[in-house]
Structure 1
Amino acid sequence: MIDETKAPMTPDEQKAYQAKQKQRAVIMAGLLAFLVVLFYFITFVKIGTAT
């Protein structure tokens, strides 16, 4: 639902909002990369100890 009583963002507010979005995206990408590497190493260790 759109709140029509709220004024649109000023250019400065828009830039701040976009900066926060970018920061969250970078953090999420880093977390995803960390999990991929973690799962890779867990799999590598489990396969290595199984033989």
Structure 2
Amino acid sequence: MLDIVELSRLQFALTAMYHFLFVPLTLGMAFLLAIMETVYVLSGKQIYKDMTKFW
């Protein structure tokens, strides 16, 4: 049976894994979207706007 300390450690581990995965993912995605939108504005090609809307 898990005691309160082990459950607390498990909760912290799950929270840390979530933070470790999703924070860099969202920051990286924002950077890529900014690049795609900039390329669309500079080139005028519809494919870059569609790529931005997809993500």
Whose RCO is larger (CA < 8 A, sep 6+)?
Answer: 2
1:27 aligns with 2:21: yes
Q: How many residues align?
A: 43
| Alpha-carbon distance, 1:13 to partner | 2.5
Identity of aligned pairs, percent?
Answer: 9
Q: Which has the higher helix share?
A: 2
TM-score by length of structure 2 reads 0.62
Q: State the TM-score, normalizing by the size of structure 1.
A: 0.65
What do you get for the CA RMSD once the two structures are aligned?
1.8
